[in-house]
Structure 1
Amino acid sequence: MKFWTTDKVRVAAGGSWIARAPQGEIELNGLSTDTRSIRPGQAFLALRGDRHDGHAYLRDAVNAGAALLIIDRPEVVPPGVGGSGGTGAGSGVFSRPVAIIKVADTGRALLKMAGVYRKTLSRTRVIAVGGSNGKTTTTRLIDTLLATKLRGTASQKSFNNAVGVPLTILSASGSDQYLICEVGTNAPGEIGMLAEVIEPEVAVITSIGREHLEGLSTLEGVAREEAQILTYLRPGGLAVVTADAPQLAEHLRCVPNVVTFGRSDKADLRLTGVEHVTSADGRVSLRFTVNDRQTCTLPMIGEHNALNALAALAVARRLGISEGVIGDALAAATAPAMRLERVNICGIEVINDAYNANPESTIAAVRTLASLGANAKRRIAVLGDMLELGAAAPDAHREVAQAVLDAGNIDKVVIVGHLGLYTAERLARDWAYGRYVLESDLDAGQAKNVAALFEPGDLVLLKGSRRMRLERVLEALRERVGTTAGCAGTIRPAVA
């Protein structure tokens, strides 16, 4: 948004003036929805959410240097401020004069502005990354590969919803050579709404799994929703999709340019070998082979991350990155926070995969735990509820328990949440209570209780849905060792 003026914002947002800037048209240098990070000269858009309303922070935005306020609650502006011919709200209302635009809905206005701005990015290759699992890791890997030779912008954190996607687009520069947007969904129609704004040249679907079944119902429903990203591919665009999801087949019939990846024999980029390897200094990486020809190293754990790397490889090839550069960049990549992130705290090795969970990703994490820790004292899985699964929740949690039992080498399971009763029900048929334990919730006290179970030499997995906030166990562990052992938690080389 660096070249936009206040009036261009008004037109793009479909708004009207409440108050114009006293100095007339202003060149803006960006847009923010958070007064904690706003910079002088930016526009502030007051979003309303479940817990916060940006309209409550208008004065904070002005004090931080906002040059323009975009609102949909004009009643928050006192009578007499602005109007069709008015100028900026003065010191009686805010600390200084400021321009104000009224729109019907600030959320919709944000999408409108992003859609208009997207059409100005004529020299930018736009990539959309969707799928049930692996979106953030794949986005980071694509960014890592492309950044070796090109200049661009990628989604920060997991900015994949109706707020994060437009903010990502608006953060791009007109001189960027690529833009990567992560795209998520909670309900039918959300991906289509976002893809229409993104208009990708390359669309990635990493996987199809049991996500948000309360709204999407079945795997076919998930595939239908994720495939909406393909509907808005620009002419000549490329679809990079998993070959391991037969539910996608019917949605690919009208897509002329498709590259598939996966374990399937039919995949264009086929994962023909993958293993964890340990270096001389104890660091664990993935070594995988593509089509029985190309071998790559990725400094991450979890065999499914090799599939994410294949998707990134396909995108990098599309944008002209050479095979040698791709291999070197993969070998230097890093995992996003709380995605199989390994942390060593005083000899207790923690695999922090607590950002989110569904059945497929949880089973993959359990298998990763089982494949590592040959020298560990114990393997312990801390498993939180998998949410938004609807009627499928009981069987899904039992399935995770079965994966634990099938692994054969997991020594203890800590189950957190009410849905975990189904996990416990299945474990109880084979294990005595004590090998598995139940925590109905995870407040600060219970997090400390869980952290107290761990001993030096243990390898611990944290995995659960975002609302479970299992990272609190990690915080409690840091507090415990920091106060009782005098040992501060540090990230250290992973051990086998």
Structure 2
Amino acid sequence: MIRMTLAEVTHAIGGTLHVHGIDTPETVVSGVVDTDSREMGPGSVFVAKPGDVTDGHLFVDTAVHAGATLAIVERMVDAPVSQIIVDDAVVALGALAREVVARVRAAGGLKVVGITGSNGKTTTKNLLARILQEEGPTVAPRASFNNEVGAPVTMLRVTDDTRFLVSELGASRPGRIAELAGLITPDIGAVLMVGLAHAGGFGGVEATQKAKTELVQALRPGGTAVLNSDDARVAAMAVAAEERGASVRWFGRGSAADVRAEDVEVTASGTTATIHVDGRSLPLHLRVLGEHHVMNALAAITVAQLLGVDPADAISRIGTVEIAERWRMQPLGSDRVRIINDAYNASPDSMAAALRTVAQITASDQRKVAVLGAMSELGEQAGEEHDRIGLQAVRLRYERIVVIGTAARRLFLAAISEGSWDGEAVFFETADEAYDYLTTELRDGDRVLVKSSNSAGLRFLGDRLGEFFS
């Protein structure tokens, strides 16, 4: 965080300051700001956030011993540290992020990018960060820090030297993206796609579209919306951009895109394509597995170009990225048995894309194996969408379909209903049972997809299988 006095922090978050020891309102803090006491160091600010499982106020002492010099709390804690009492620690965290970003931006030089979409946010964020870090100091989220805590924590890593801030913005409910984007009023907002991820929590895909449009509506006047021209729901957001006084830059695979991909080819070593931009045709080689990641790459290239990066340089830099993120199309195991661990999250769109990718990279003399768990937050569409994935796995001729967990049982039933022989699909209640089966069933040449929503926990099964077959 930038240097701020205790008085300035207090004013920014609307709290009441209680100084400790030799501190005064003019005492300066400038360290990490976080809700995790394990992240504290000298000069840090600890935000004591109450939670469902535990309460951050219980860890103020731990944070102080790790070096924290200020605690933002909802009630006074008996600890040797200056404290600012607020009504809501999470709201205060966001308010502090807004102030810090505004100060750095006012000093000149900081460009702010917001990224949202039903799928692809984290991959696009990582690709863009890889491009921009060659241009100057860049702040981007770790993992998927995109909620009301993770996004402000990332924003607060900005310093006076930061040139680019990349914010990944997720939506747990309508209005959430508006709140997060409102903290930073992005110069550029990229919307990747509108799909069924979290549709259950929003009440349908139309409500999801409305939620993603909130990013475009939060752009700075004169900013730019980077929109997927292949997705009709995203393309419709151009109206919101015009109303905001923002321009539009299109990416996609269709002829309407300003930055366009053609000749996409998926292999076991990655994905290749030809990128057309401003009359130039440039070769792309992504080491990240999956045809669907081409769209994420296009979005990153488009944003980078708006920030002054030559597309050829952008393409060269993203070609060095080996995996999008841990547990996202992550190759494990060995050439003998290759495990593709993509179980960090799952929606119908990402599940279908992962199944197609593994089918594309599996040779005719090798077996395709799908290890699948539940897709969460689909609401009343959950049954139908699990049916669809079960049918797709069979129609892509997966030789083994291993379904895990009661919440995914309907996927299994759809697979055996569509399947043409006994034993093609099997069901297990637990990942441990599936592990015991797979360690004896898998054989040389198998290509294995492990895919589920985070809540199903199959990412750890993927790690175990990767280690077993390494």
| TM range, smaller chain | over 0.9
2:8 corresponds to 1:8: yes
Give the distance between the partners of 2:73 and 2:436, measured in 1 at CA.
43
Residue equivalent to 1:159: 145
Q: Which of residues 198, 201, 206 in structure 1 aligns to 2:192?
A: 206
- Gaps in structure 2 of 5+ consecutive residues: none
Q: Could you tell me how far 1:458 is from its partner in structure 2? A: 1.4
Contact 1:159 1:165 in 2 (8 A): yes
1:285 corresponds to: 270
Does residue 1:104 correspond to 2:82, yes or no? no
Residue type of the alignment partner of 2:317: A
* Number of the residue aligned with 2:427: 438
Contact 1:354 1:464 survives alignment (8 Å): yes
- The equivalent residue for 2:28 is 27
1:38 to 37, 40, 65: 40
The answer to whether the aligner puts 1:238 opposite 2:250 as a matched pair is no
User: How far 1:419 sits from its partner (Å)?
Assistant: 3.2
**Within-5 A mapping of 1:336-485:** 336-345=325-334, 347-374=336-363, 377-408=366-397, 410-431=398-419, 432-442=421-431, 444=432, 446-477=434-465, 480=468
Looking at structure 2, the residues matched to 446 and 462 of structure 1 have their Cα atoms a distance apart, in angstroms, of: 11
The structure-2 alpha-carbon separation of the partners of 1:390 and 1:222, relative to structure 1 and needing over 3 Å to count, comes to same
- Aligned partner (choices 134, 139, 142) of residue 125 of structure 2: 139
Determine helix, strand or coil for the equivalent of 1:303: coil
Q: Which residue of 2 aligns with 1:274?
A: 264
Q: CA deviation at 1:149?
A: 2.2
Q: Which moved more, 1:417-426 or 1:218-227?
A: 417-426
Structure 1 unaligned runs (5+)?
Answer: 78-92, 279-283, 482-488, 490-496
Answer yes or no: is the 8 Å Cα contact 1:350–1:462 preserved in 2.
yes
Listed one character per residue, the Cα deviations across residues 329-382 of structure 1 (whole Å, up to 9, x for unaligned) are 122123211111111247220111111000000000000010012166321011
- What amino acid does structure 2 have at the position aligned with 1:53? D
* 8 Å contact kept, 1:125–1:177: yes
The Cα of 1:294 is off from its aligned counterpart by 2.6
C-alpha spacing 1:36/1:379, structure 2 compared with 1 (3 Å): same
Distance 2:306 2:235 in 1: 22
Kindly provide the amino acid, as one letter, of the partner of residue 264 in structure 2: V
Q: Which amino acid aligns with 2:194?
A: I
Alpha-carbon separation, structure 2, partners of 1:321 and 1:478: 37
Q: Deviations over 1:213-248 (max 9, x none)?
A: 222222221111011001111121111111122123
1:281 corresponds to which residue?
none
The one-character-per-residue Cα deviations of 1:151-202 (angstroms, maximum 9, x if unpaired) are 2111111000000110111001121111100111121111111111121001
The 3-state SS of whatever aligns with 1:275 is: strand
Which residue does 1:84 correspond to in 2? none
CA distance, structure 1, for counterparts of residue 265 and residue 335 of structure 2 = 27
| d(CA) in 1 for partners of 2:201, 2:135 | 41
Offset, 1:273: 1.8
Distance of 2:258 and 2:369 partners within structure 1: 37
2:260 is the alignment partner of 1:259: no
Query: TM-score, normalised on structure 2?
Result: 0.92
Partner of 2:17 in structure 1?
17
2:302 maps to which of 291, 311, 314: 314
Q: Do structure 1's residue 331 and structure 2's residue 319 form an aligned pair?
A: yes
In 2, Cα distance between equivalents of 1:47 and 1:447:
37
Deviation (angstroms), 1:393: 0.5
- 1:317 and 1:248 mapped to 2: Cα distance? 20
TM-score, length of structure 1 as denominator length: 0.88
Deviation (angstroms), 1:16: 0.4
User: What SS does the aligned partner of 2:317 have?
Assistant: helix
Aligned length: 456
Q: Distance in 2 between matches of 1:400 and 1:153?
A: 37
Show CA shifts across 1:227-281 (max 9, x none).
1001111121111111122123443214141111123332222222200246xxx
SS in 1 for 2:441: coil
Q: Which moved more, 1:124-133 or 1:427-436?
A: 427-436
CA deviation after TM superposition for structure 1 residue 11, in Å:
1.3
Counterpart residue identity of residue 333, structure 1? V
1:432-455 CA-partner distances (Å, limit 9, x unpaired): 44211112233x455444444323
Distance of 1:301 and 1:68 partners within structure 2: 44
Structure 1 pair 297–98 and aligned structure 2 pair: CA distance change class (3 A): same
User: Could you tell me which amino acid in structure 2 is paired with residue 402 of structure 1?
Assistant: L
Q: Is the 8 A contact 2:191 2:227 kept in 1?
A: yes
**C-alpha distance in 2 between matches for 1:70 and 1:33:** 9
CA distance in structure 2 between the partners assigned to 1:58 and 1:424 by the alignment: 47
Q: Percent identity?
A: 32
Question: Deviation of residue 61 (structure 1)?
Answer: 1.1
SS at match of 1:121: helix
Partner amino acid, structure 1, of 2:363: A
Give me the whole-angstrom Cα distance separating, in 2, the residues matched to 1:346 and 1:269: 35
Alignment correspondent of 1:493 = none
Q: For residue 10 of structure 1, give the secondary structure of its aligned residue in structure 2.
A: helix
Is 2:115–2:125's contact at 8 Å kept on the other side of the alignment? yes
Shift of 1:21: 4.2
Q: State the alpha-carbon separation in 1 of the partners of residues 71 and 423 from structure 2.
A: 57
